[in-house]
Amino acid sequence: MTTHLNLTASTHELRAEGLAVGYGERHVLSGLDLEIEPGTVTSIVGANASGKSTLLRTLSRLLSPAGGQVLLDGRSVHSMPSKELARVLGLLPQSPVSPDGITVADLVGRGRHPHQRMFRAWSAADDAAVAHALDATATADLADRPVDELSGGQRQRVWIAMVLAQQTDLLLLDEPTTFLDVSHQIEVLDLLADLNRDRGTTIVMVLHDLNLAARYSDRLVALEGGRVYAAGPASAVLTEQCVQDVFGLRSRIIDDPVSGGPLVVPVGRHHVAAG
Amino acid sequence: MTLTATSTATRPSRRRPGTDAPRSPALPTRTAWRRRLAWLGAGLVVLVLLCAASVAIGSRTVDMPAIVEALGSLGEPVEGLDQAAVVKRIPRTVLALVVGAALGVAGAVMQGVTRNPLADPGILGINMGASLAVVVGMAWFGMFAAHHMIWMAILGAALTAVLVYAIASAGRSGASPLKLALAGAALTAVATSFITAVAMPRGDISANIRSWQIGGVGGAAWDAIGLVAPFLAVGMLLALASARSLNSLALGDDLAAGLGERVMLARGLAALSSVLLAGAATAVAGPIGFVGLVVPHACRLLAGPDHRWLLSYSAVAGAGLLLASDVLGRIIARPSEIDVGILTALIGAPFFIHIVRQRKVREL
């Protein structure tokens, strides 16, 4: 069903070099280096206030770094024309606002913004992109429903459809599963995995749940104190030592019986079987 | 094809499953497009009728043949009272149209820029700031010339806009709807009492100020319209050019930036357009309240949240509301007239209360 669109795998390279970002006196990121491999799914994990969202916001140039730079194919994103960047790199922030009474189709259509010029009419390419985004997220049935009336899970799929309509090779998502129950979390992550497989979209997201991050990512980036503590495949990054250092939490790492990857089992002060 | 009654009853808003047309999302979008265009056309028809009424109705009763005759001999020297009355109603009609359209669009843009359902040139204090500047110009600098008033009004509008936004942005949560409305109310109070303080001791100009302040289109003259026309035209073009940016801004600043919008620039240009529109309208017709509040809300019900439609609708409906208020003011107080600013306040105030009570005051 996906033949009329250009589905070549992403070749765009996103990297951060020596990123330093701070709010006033407080340094959130200090000298952070990161390379995102094209066509992979990367999850950024870390404790609260470890700089996860700040990193994502700087990569998508919502924040300007005090030092260092973010390079997209060797060019600094902070000096690129904004629409040009928006045709390559899409962003789903944590709490987007849906205008009162907007329909799903209209909302998804707004993802076409970077492809349109002032006063140019809506094109067939726009139609195709919206149709495809609705199809990919299984929201075509909802096309003429008001977004306000949807459930949380449906709404998140619609927002993802909106950034899909933007047709970017790179997709950055800030905690796309927050506020969703577990089945909808899986649904959203499955959808992102589909996108990565079918279209080769490079995905970078901030996730809270370590085990879901481990299962759904090719690479994990663990942040600690504004620096990369460890980066690589989940099996290499998620060690008991890493969880201890990054989250200050004792844990056991076992094999995930479903995926075969690592599964973090936290150890608290209570409910620990003797021995 | 047959369709069971239940499927239409339970899912009225969804397309029928299995219809012959391909399941393309373009379908509902296209029909919505046609519906919106039809409403806009209907609005324009009503506007034409209102124009006719505005030319025909006034404190002096002029019968139909005389009106037609007067309109037929436009441009020639005026003969007789009937013809003079009709000829005088034409600039008045035009002024109501442009001021109404300007206020309607200014309100819609302001609501979009601030994502605030209560934003309105009146509530945010813009109109009063413009008034204060005009009154100060009159009282202290003897600026009674129309073009002086325009510049003072736009200057006052711009300063107030910046000040209200700055006050509301102070503190952690940024310019929330509530803080913007509060800042606007506070500045309105300051400006109002300042106007009184400036005007009170000046018996020589207080009549001047009072008649301008109530707001009206009755004293319309072509030269005043000509003076504000460029400001209104630039403001209107800038507003329409901002429509797509407003659509992106409506999704939140982060997402708008992600869509390639330069958020601060887009917001600044849109705000500038509403300041030009509200300032020029105030300069020529005095502070007219509530048009910028009522019109965009009513239009949103028909046009939906797309600003390209919303701004066009607001222009037509704003012009219509002001024209209707003006005509009504001539009818109910015959042989005298009620100023249009008083009537829009009478219509607008209950509506304002309705919005505050019915809807949660939340971001658009």
- pLDDT at site A186: 93
Using a CB-CB distance cutoff of 8 angstroms, which residues of chain A are in contact with residue B305? 99-102, 106
- Structural tokens at position A229: 């503590």
* ipTM exceeding the 0.90 mark: no
pLDDT digits (tens, 9 = 90+) for B35-67: 889 999 999 999 999 998 888 887 677 777 777
pLDDT greater at residue A117 or residue A86: A86
3-class secondary structure, B217: coil
Partnered with residue B309 across adjacent β-strands are: none
d(CA B172, CA B190): 25
Residue A264: is its pLDDT beyond 80?
yes
Q: Does the beta-carbon distance from A110 to B252 stay under 8 Å?
A: no
Average pLDDT over residues B200-204: 77
The shortest C-alpha distance from B42 to chain A (Å) reads 22
Using a CB-CB distance cutoff of 8 angstroms, which residues of chain B are in contact with residue A204? none
The region of weakest confidence among A153-162, A186-195, B161-170, B355-364 is B355-364
pLDDT band at B109 (very low <50, low <70, confident <90, very high): very high
- pLDDT at site A16: 93
pLDDT band at A72 (very low <50, low <70, confident <90, very high): very high
The shortest C-alpha distance from B182 to chain A (Å) reads 23
Q: What is the mean pLDDT of chain A?
A: 89
Closest partner CB to A144 (pick from B13, B254, B261): B13
pLDDT band at B342 (very low <50, low <70, confident <90, very high): confident
Average pLDDT over residues A5-31: 79
Residue B68: is its pLDDT beyond 80?
no
pLDDT greater at residue B212 or residue A71: A71
pLDDT greater at residue A133 or residue B85: A133
Average pLDDT over residues B296-318: 91
pLDDT digits (tens, 9 = 90+) for B219-267: 777 888 888 899 999 999 999 999 999 999 999 889 999 999 998 899 8
Pick the CATH number of B95-359 from 3.30.420.40, 3.30.70.270, 3.40.50.300, 1.10.3470.10: 1.10.3470.10
Residue B194: is its pLDDT beyond 80?
yes
Q: What is the mean pLDDT of chain B?
A: 81
The region of weakest confidence among A178-187, A217-226, A239-248, B78-87 is B78-87
pLDDT band at B173 (very low <50, low <70, confident <90, very high): low
Q: Which residues contact B175 (CB under 8 A, 6 or more apart)?
A: B114, B165, B168, B169
- pLDDT at site A232: 94
Range(s) of chain A covered by CATH 3.40.50.300? 10-88+168-238
d(CA B84, CA B87): 5
Pick the CATH number of A10-88+168-238 from 3.40.50.2000, 3.40.50.300, 3.30.70.100, 3.40.640.10: 3.40.50.300
pLDDT digits (tens, 9 = 90+) for A179-232: 888 988 999 999 999 999 998 999 999 999 999 999 999 999 999 988 999 999
Q: Does the beta-carbon distance from B23 to A108 stay under 8 Å?
A: no
Q: Count of CB contacts below 8 A, A vs B?
A: 108
Residue B152: is its pLDDT beyond 50?
yes
- pLDDT at site B224: 81
Using a CB-CB distance cutoff of 8 angstroms, which residues of chain B are in contact with residue A116? 244
Q: Does the beta-carbon distance from A106 to B304 stay under 8 Å?
A: yes
Share of chain B above pLDDT 90, in %: 27
Q: Which residues 3-62 on chain A approach chain B with CB closer than 8 angstroms?
A: 57, 60-62
Average pLDDT over residues A253-275: 88
Residue A1: is its pLDDT beyond 70?
no
- pLDDT at site B255: 93
pLDDT band at B353 (very low <50, low <70, confident <90, very high): confident
Q: Is A205 exposed, middle or buried (0-12, 13-18, 19+ CB in 10 A)?
A: buried
3-class secondary structure, A189: helix
**CB contact at 8 A, A133 and B26:** no
Partnered with residue A14 across adjacent β-strands are: A36, A72
d(CA A265, CA A252): 5
Q: Residue B28's closest chain A neighbor by CA?
A: A144
The region of weakest confidence among A2-6, A237-241, B48-52 is A2-6
- pLDDT at site B204: 76
Average pLDDT over residues B294-319: 91
The region of weakest confidence among A172-176, B72-76, B93-97, B192-196 is B72-76
- pLDDT at site A275: 56
Q: Does the beta-carbon distance from B255 to A84 stay under 8 Å?
A: no
Average pLDDT over residues A249-274: 90
Closest CA to B240 of B160, B323, B306, B153: B306
pLDDT band at B28 (very low <50, low <70, confident <90, very high): low
Closest partner CB to B25 (pick from A87, A118, A130): A130
- Structural tokens at position A89: 């790199």
Q: Write phi, then psi, for B340 (nearest 5 degrees).
A: -65, -30
- pLDDT at site B259: 93
pLDDT digits (tens, 9 = 90+) for A149-189: 998 889 999 999 999 999 999 999 999 998 888 988 999 99
pLDDT band at B214 (very low <50, low <70, confident <90, very high): low
pLDDT greater at residue B283 or residue A70: A70
3-class secondary structure, B123: coil
Range B7-16 burial, b when 16+ CB lie within 10 A, else e: eeeeeeeebe
Q: Which residues contact B152 (CB under 8 A, 6 or more apart)?
A: B130, B133, B134, B136, B137, B143, B283
CA-based max dimension of chain B: 80
Q: Mean pLDDT highest for which of B29-33, B196-200, B305-309?
A: B305-309
